[in-house]
Amino acid sequence: MTSVTTEATSSPPTERAPAPDKNRGTSGFARFGMALPWLLPAIVLIAAVVLYPAVLMVYNAFRKFSKYGFEQGAAGWNNFETALTFPGVPVARIMLNTVVWVVVVVIATLLISLGLAQFLNKTFPGRKIVRLAIVIPWAASVVMTSSVFLNALDPNYGLFSDILHRLGLLDSGTALTQDPTTAFWLAVVVAVFVSLPFTTYTLLAGLQAVPGDVLEAAHVDGASAGQRYRQIVLPIIRPAIAVAALVNIINVFNSLPVLQILNRTPGYNEGLTTTPLVFAYKSSLGPGVSSALSVINLLFCIVIIAIYLITVRPTREQ
């Protein structure tokens, strides 16, 4: 009896046979046909909201329109030549503004958000309230936030202008939003401010996926705080950083309200704080030239994203 029991308990467990693959023998085209009814709503939505406007934008960029908006045939590259050689407009400065605008805002947002996420990942009294406070700029519209900053910087009644004047940092009556340089950098500050909530919460979600036992084991093995952060935390949150960076590049590149509202410099100086998107919005260029500017704007965005993906390589395996 004893030998039978021992033999029964010492025998290796029987492996369960894998379930038969119902899709075995089905071609890829047939499987796509089976999934098509569930994919069709998303495909129709993407085609209507993304693909059709993009194709129409490229088509209009190469067409000639009358001043009343009627199409008058092919225009070749004339719309692009007009967009890049518009009389009296510093096109090179506008392109430089775009690069500085996107690079500075995205890098500053990521660095500040990484610090905030690290802080919010700690345990301290009132953490829930602090986390909710971070969301407030996200809940308000960008137009509302930009208008608040614009009024706060008014030289006559603005709160920020009054504080800076009392601290001796600003002369009385100085309008920061009417100087092209200060207006541009104020817009950068506002753009970083409105971008912080999404980026902080994205990085915070990545930090909460870092296993505490791994960090504790590294600490026991003698790894310093910097080594643990560089060799354990950063590689784990790399996908979160990649998502935050890409979404911020696209959002900042297409951010119209901040520069539109905070740019109060008159005349020629408007070009010193303008990006192609703002220029297309503020100018009566017609559908053809505006579409050409939009195509240039899109290509700019794609180039910056490509540079980021090539240099940072956020999806590479560790």
For 178-204, the pLDDT digits (tens) are: 777 888 888 888 889 888 888 999 999
Q: What pLDDT digit, counting tens, does each position of 209-251 carry?
A: 888 888 888 888 888 888 888 888 888 888 888 888 888 888 8
Task: Name the CA radius of gyration of the chain, rounded.
Answer: 28
* Residue 175: band (very low, low, confident or very high) from pLDDT cuts 50, 70, 90: confident
Q: What pLDDT digit, counting tens, does each position of 139-154 carry?
A: 777 788 888 888 888 8
Is 242 strand, coil or helix?
helix
- Residue 168: predicted pLDDT: 83
- Residue 209: predicted pLDDT: 86
Q: Buried b vs exposed e over 160-177: b needs ≥16 C-beta within 10 Å?
A: bbbebbeeeebeeeebbb
Q: What is the mean pLDDT of residues 123-150?
A: 82
* Residue 111: band (very low, low, confident or very high) from pLDDT cuts 50, 70, 90: very high
Q: Say which residue, 304 or 27, is predicted with more confidence.
A: 304
pLDDT(117) > 70: yes
CA angle, 102 as apex, 97 and 106 as ends, to 5°?
150
* Residue 315: band (very low, low, confident or very high) from pLDDT cuts 50, 70, 90: low
Decide: 290 and 63 in contact? Cβ < 8 Å: no
* Residue 267: band (very low, low, confident or very high) from pLDDT cuts 50, 70, 90: very low
Decide: 186 and 149 in contact? Cβ < 8 Å: yes
